Structure 1
Amino acid sequence: MRPHSTFGGRHELGQNFLHSRSTLHTIANLTRATTGPILEIGPGTGAVTAQLYQLGRPLTLVELDETRISHLEHSFPRAQVQHADVLTSRLDQPVIVGSLPFHLTTPILRRLLRARRWQNAVLLTQWEVARKRAGVGGSTMMTAQWAPWFDFRLIERVPAHAFTPKPSVDGGILTIDRLASSLVPDRHRSDYQQFVRTAFTGRGRGMKGILTTMNLTDRTTLQSTMDRNDVRGDTLPRDLKPEQWAGLYSALGATETSTTKSPSAAQKQSRKTQKKGNTMRNDKGHKNPSVAAGTGEIPLIAEKPVITGEIPIVGADQVAKKLEAQIPGVDPEAKTKSHDKGHLQAERGFMPQHAKPSQPQPRWNLPRRQG
């Protein structure tokens, strides 16, 4: 019985080893059409490695299962064997070949597409993943985001019985080639990918509705841009070709990005002023009008003097008498009348007939007769 890896068993490592001779020859022929050193991901038992080894080119093997390292070193002495995880290793060889674990296909592809040194990749992945990445039946957001820099192609379908042990789904051979001249400059990659993400996740029916919701330009310019790139209004994002995505971004997304990232000098000064605020220190026009400049006098904090109980107030008696004097034309008894219940009821329009009739008291509540 084989020793068990510390990283898990066959299911955890995604080990479904290819044994179909026709598929092995297909991978070897695709790799032979490339040039430069080769890096193989997950060699496993070495079935694909044996085909690559016969090409006589520098070969690097990246294997996570430490129980297979000695076998690979003994079987392929001229190859460089690395005990490492592909998700953390450097993919720095011109050609990448490998049978990817089906449950880790997308994370490995994302890391592969972000690496900058490789030129060609021959990958055996899950069939649906290979089909979507090649844009068969409509491209995914991930494919559209990387299409200006890479060419995705679906080569053939690999049945499940071509693996040992047999997986529950079929596989597919996918090739990815870096374009010699990209459709979008590499410095705009982040902005372009955000443009595609917004279009895929935006609201609206078809590309015209989605781009209108994004408020990138006026309707006339938008329609002329779509006509120039042969994009119909009801076209879905998944149906656009890489050239159409690049044309839309160059006309709409690039303009919006440059406007957003390059504010004018007036906008910068306005933001700087708003950040400082209106303080006493930076408000140069603030002056105390009651004090002449250069007099050396102390300005008054408040215009009104502070009144305390110790300082007599001149004219306070006359003010008090004026307040206590009666107001001409006002009845002094009005205050008393206003608190009278009958007077208040009359003011509110209450009449005696509005009162509820008194109810006779029950007999049991009457006082008892004496004697």
Structure 2
Amino acid sequence: MINQLHHIYHAKKRFGQHFLHDQYIINAIINAIYPQYWQVMLEIGPGLGALTEKIEPLVNRLTVIEIDRDLTLHLKNNSRLKQKINIFNQDALIFDFSDFSKKQGQLLRIFGNLPYNISTPLIFYIFSHINAIHDMHFMLQEEVANRLLANPGNKNYGRLSVMSQYYCQIFPVISVPANALTPTPKVNSTVVRLTPIRAITQSPNRIHALHRITKAAFNQRRKKISNSLQYLISVDELIKMNISPDLRAENISVLQYCQLADWLTKHC
């Protein structure tokens, strides 16, 4: 049924739609997620239901967020799903994950093939609800996944790397070739697992400062931090923190960014 729909449903560019159809990849993703019957499973962007249909028999209730009205109607009319599926026809960027988790009485297990055009802002948005989340499994453009996973000194290391690694432990799950999707994208994808770090400090002031520091540093990533951060932290203060003023944004660890954010929180 899903393969037939690939031919009659035209993906909408404005939603960045690419539908997964490779059964080996689908099964590998589900095995990695390992859904349990009693858990609250929430899928972002179910599309034509490639993952949805396979996970539905494994759980008591499956919630999906789908912005496309046509796809929402398709899911509502799917006789295999309509007894268990809970559909929100809305933008995931405004969905209140924290409130939904509270109503369900447990943490959320979120998964999905994230639309290419909103994956980064969506990840940042979901971090604002991190206390409501048990884990996440996302299929992303390979470039985005590489940025999530990058270490200091790597060309892919950036603001997304720092903020993601501040909130979560991140692991690569499986590489997804472009031909596993319809329409075929120009790039490969990667599925990653993000597990929230419960011990981190989540004070709004610290997180706001971390956003300010990373934005200032990576907006001028080729400059030394003595220049890119000059309006926030002096060279003398950098030296006191044992952070060389000659370093560039991509050479500073997540822990060092936290040091800088903590200083900024106390002094600004």
TM-score by length of 1: 0.58
Aligned to 1:81: 87
Pick the aligned partner of 1:176 from 175, 190, 194: 194
More strand by share: 2
Where structure 2 has 5 or more consecutive residues not aligned to the other structure, the ranges are: 102-107
Aligned to 2:146: 131
> Identical aligned pairs, as a percentage?
21
Call closer, same or farther: CA 1:236–1:157 in 2, change over 3 Å. farther
Shift of 1:56: 1.8
Shift of 1:163: 0.7
User: Aligned with 2:112: secondary structure?
Assistant: strand
1:255 paired with 2:257, answer no
User: Aligned with 1:103: secondary structure?
Assistant: coil
Shift of 1:14: 2.5
Confirm or deny: 8 A CA contact 1:207 1:233 kept in the other structure: yes
1:206 paired with 2:224, answer yes
Taking the aligned partners of 1:23 and 1:12, their CA distance within structure 2 comes to 25
Taking the aligned partners of 2:253 and 2:201, their CA distance within structure 1 comes to 12
Shift of 1:135: 2.1
Aligned to 2:253: 241
1:140 paired with 2:158, answer yes
Taking the aligned partners of 2:206 and 2:52, their CA distance within structure 1 comes to 38
Aligned residue pairs total 247
1:119 paired with 2:134, answer yes
Pick the aligned partner of 2:180 from 162, 167, 178: 162
Taking the aligned partners of 1:234 and 1:132, their CA distance within structure 2 comes to 23
Structure exhibiting the larger radius of gyration computed from Cα positions:
1
Taking the aligned partners of 2:72 and 2:238, their CA distance within structure 1 comes to 58
Greater relative contact order structure (CA < 8 Å, 6+ sep): 2
Call closer, same or farther: CA 1:248–1:184 in 2, change over 3 Å. farther
Shift of 1:18: 0.8
2:134 maps to amino acid? Q
Aligned pairs for 1:1-371 within 5 A: 10-32=12-34, 36-73=39-76, 74-76=79-81, 77-91=83-97, 92-93=100-101, 94-116=108-130, 117-135=132-150, 137=154, 138-183=156-201, 185-201=203-219, 205-208=223-226, 210=228, 213-214=230-231, 216-217=233-234, 219=236, 222-226=238-242, 231-250=243-262, 252-257=263-268
Call closer, same or farther: CA 1:135–1:52 in 2, change over 3 Å. same
TM-score by length of 2: 0.77
Call closer, same or farther: CA 1:132–1:215 in 2, change over 3 Å. closer
